[in-house]
Structure 1
């Protein structure tokens, strides 16, 4: 089989029927196991297949792409870089999207190998075409180009080359193609800037990153929405947050939140601003962020108490993120002009939406409630447990019955969401007392028939697992119930009790 592939490849340039030859080659290539192909691939000459890409026949081009994908995948990236970089460069100019994707994918493989990348860095024309690919009309090609260029900039040499002379000029020229393409360049620059302080320094010096930050507070509302998302990605790194703070960007974003009431279009970008601060609090310090930018948390509360479902959902998600850490819980406890009463009022509102909102919002509320209510065993101080209990009771007049009702519904998302809430509080003594005092709750826990699918059974099993590992369960539930929970855990989530049958004489 390998010899026939060699013969077909050698005969391709002067072949009278290239389509038939390519079909034969494709069949042979796909028939060979990949380990065998890897052994033979370095000896094969693929120039003939690359040359047939220039033909106008779509089937011919498609066959060439399939064959090259198979062969190139079997070759070491260093071999590809040294022997086919000119062919890959020409392929980047090809009118067919599949050919350009093939070339960019191979460049992506090459730049992941430090030895092979040297070959790419020495080919300025190929890199220029990679930059130009960002401005193409095919988003898939542009995305692959961004990914590969980002990896190239991961090396000091690649970083210096990309933001030096010719390539930087090409980047700026591509930005002028359209607003959409400009955002793609911003995306590339933010990806690179997030890697290290050194890469951020290059991006800032290029003037592209400062231009992005200027557009963040510009007059174009839709541009502002896109820029906020990109800046949020940069804020995920320590050096990125420091840079944004030094440039006054965080203060400017906070001012946008403050001024949102006077802007009729603020609904378009406000969710992004709130997510920005939510992510900032998650990776930094909830207390520092909420104390330094009090308008952020007040805006979240206002959104949660409003009437617009989209805003409510963003507020609920943000509170779930804030309340997932102990520090965040303490911030919520102290927040608001009226102290903790503001949060309790908002949390009660979340409980209302969990009962009565659209299904998607109900699920998000349940996720947020479970994040906020969870306390690790090491944090079970009297004050924190009392705080958690007061929060839980604020959700409804009868919170246990409320979540029991949701857990009995046939919708898996709500069923599992309610079980997740029970699991979040299951290691807290006050919650265990509420469980055991709730009529039929123990029977519900050990009844597998009420869990209609795998996800529900797994969620129930997590609840049981938390209960049997909690220190107070045996005392609060009593020995009999505790042993039933241990038996359930031992049997596993999918246990089915065997039913024995007795044969009766004369029965069919």
Structure 2
């Protein structure tokens, strides 16, 4: 459990602070200058060390604040909530739950977003065992959070979604939510489309939290309501379907959620949606969401997704001809995610369509658009192969993929490394990093004019991120056992000295800056 005095640096104790603090709190309800008093209270709090706050004020009454809420104006309410939040953060979690549970419940119920957010923040902050104790001692907190999910502003609703989602981590929490509060949930969900999807998000968070939660949520019928919206074919709401896909991703990324969706035929039905799109311009809006959905799964289960869901893979590779830049970018990133790990590279090589896809990525580098940065990032992921994953098969594969990018691919990438635009420059540096880890890549680098000078020239990178990006390339070259073979022993020693000096070394300085984390 996180100790409270580790959550913020301790401050020096003022011997008069405790007396002043209690006096200010006690005098708050009758004060005619509440803003001045609250500001004074904040200054006094700043003089307190956290440890002394815990020791001296852990039992201070906050009821004077909470009972005054109805008569406070906006400025007073805002300052008051700042003070309460400072005290909640300073106290140990145990003290907050033991001494201020009543205030937390009052805050959840009071009709003002500032205090609601303070109380929800504390419920998200406390350890799960204390959260469990709080909600089960008085289940009105569950009802309060259900109500808050329906409330505005948006920050309150979303914070309540996060707060109530934690019930999925409690023993019997999901059963309690469904058995005792299902009617409340369904009534609240009926208020509007926006609110309904807030509850779907909470439900998916709970279902995905633990294997024992899923059967309870399925039994409630709430997941099936979401699936009915996803597979609606008479009057489909495309925006609702896109939201359903995004929320369902939370569940299917867990092993038990994936098994359930697969066994129930849900994944097959989602893939079939790809086949229904065809020339329907309305349904085509759903295509990026479907590719993202399967792409997320393919990243963690490439073997299953890429071999069993052929329609997805076909749709993915067919995007090379699309004029929809959003869809093309998503497809590019999805293929890169699949091919990032060594196993993913082996799976992708089985698809003949991949060659055309990589050729299209290479052509993207030649066009004046922001897609070039996404293309560079995709190339980095597809080519990255650290020494631990080296095999003759994979090294040959990554070299062939690079060659598919075009005859002048290295020249183009190196030019991006010298552009003043951060998104291009950093992405291109990542491509050089992926090349630095491979013998054929080092040969390309070694043969290219000015590349060696570029790596050791510290004056070229004016931004910190650019310095780190180039420094990582040098680190990679030093790390590889074959670098001296390609660059020569003398240059390799220069790389070692450059690495040892750190990324921020300035010639003539005696100190060495720390390396990036």
Find the counterpart in structure 2 of residue 178 from structure 1.
192
SS in 2 for 1:156: coil
2:442 alignment counterpart: 432
Deviation of 1:18 after TM superposition, in Å, equals 5.7
Q: CA–CA distance in 1 between the matches of 2:198 and 2:304?
A: 33
Query: Which runs of 5 or more structure 1 residues have no equivalent in the other structure?
Result: 500-508
CA distance 1:125–1:393, change in 2 (3 Å): same
- Note closer, same or farther for the CA distance 1:414–1:150 as it changes in structure 2 (3 Å cut): same
Moved more, 57-66 or 176-185: 57-66
Please name the residue that 1:105 is paired with.
Answer: 121
Q: 2:407 aligns to what?
A: 397
Alpha carbons 1:468, 1:482 under 8 Å: kept: yes
Q: Is the 1:77–1:113 Cα contact (8 Å) retained in structure 2?
A: no
Please report how far the alpha carbon of residue 497 of structure 1 lies from its aligned counterpart in structure 2 after TM superposition: 2.8
Instruction: Tell me what 1:482 maps to.
Output: 492
Residue in structure 1 matched with residue 9 of structure 2 by the alignment:
none
2:366 to 355, 379, 390: 355
Alpha carbons 1:78, 1:113 under 8 Å: kept: no
Instruction: Show CA shifts across 1:165-223 (max 9, x none).
Output: 3x111111110010000000000011111111101111111111111122112211110
Who wins on radius of gyration, i.e. which is larger? 1
* Distance in 1, Cα, partners of 2:213 & 2:450: 60
Quote the Cα distance in structure 1 between the aligned partners of 2:46 and 2:389: 59
Shift of the alpha carbon at 1:289?
1.2
How is 1:304-319 mapped onto 2 (pairs within 5 angstroms)?
304-319=320-335
In the other structure, the counterpart of 2:453 is 443
**Residue deviations 1:264-298 (CA, integer Å, cap 9, x gap):** 123422111111111111112x2321121111111
Seen in structure 2, the aligned counterparts of structure 1 residues 264 and 444 have a Cα distance that, compared at 3 Å, is: same
Map residues 82-481 of structure 1 onto 2, 5 A cutoff: 82-110=98-126, 112-115=127-130, 117-165=132-180, 167-218=181-232, 219-284=236-301, 286-335=302-351, 339=352, 342-359=353-370, 361-481=371-491
Deviations 1:448-503 (A, max 9, x none): 2333322222222211222222222222222333333333323333333339xxxx
| Separation of aligned partners in 1, 2:334 and 2:60 | 56
Task: Describe the superposition over 1:117-174 as per-residue Cα deviations: whole angstroms up to 9, x where unpaired.
Answer: 3243121223211111111122111122122211133112322211113x11111111
Distance 1:115 1:456, change over 3 A: closer
Partner deviation per Cα, 1:6-41 (whole Å, 9 max, x = no partner): 334444556676666555544434443333222222
Match of 1:64 among 80, 89, 113: 80
Q: TM-score, normalised by structure 1?
A: 0.90
Distance of aligned partners of 1:424 and 1:15 in 2 relative to their CA distance in 1, 3 Å threshold? closer
1:54 is displaced (CA, Å) by 1.6
1:222-276 CA deviation, whole Å, 9 max, x = no partner?
Answer: 1001011011111110001011112211101111112222321234221111111
Provide the secondary structure at the position in 2 that maps to 1:334: coil
- Which of 235-244 and 322-331 deviates more? 322-331
Distance in 2 (alpha carbons) for counterparts of 1:448 and 1:129: 58
In structure 2, do the counterparts of structure 1 residues 486 and 59 end up closer, same or farther at CA, with 3 Å as the change threshold?
Answer: closer
Choose 274-283 or 426-435, whichever is displaced more. 426-435
- Using the size of structure 2 for normalisation, the TM-score is 0.88
SS in structure 1 at match of 2:209: coil
Closer, same or farther in 2 for the Cα pair 1:240/1:14, shift >3 Å? same
Give secondary structure in 2 for the equivalent of 1:177.
coil
SS in 2 for 1:164: helix
Distance 2:451 2:477 in 1: 13
Of 420-429 and 178-187, the range deviating more from structure 2: 420-429
Structure 2 spans left out of the alignment, 5+ residues: 1-16, 510-517
Measured on the aligned residues, the alpha-carbon RMSD in Å equals 2.3
Q: Answer yes or no: is the 8 Å Cα contact 1:52–1:60 preserved in 2.
A: no
Matched position secondary structure for 1:448: coil
Q: Which is worse superposed, 384-393 or 243-252?
A: 384-393
Contact 1:193–1:200, Cα closer than 8 Å, also in 2:
yes
Shift of 1:116: 6.0
State the aligned residue count.
490
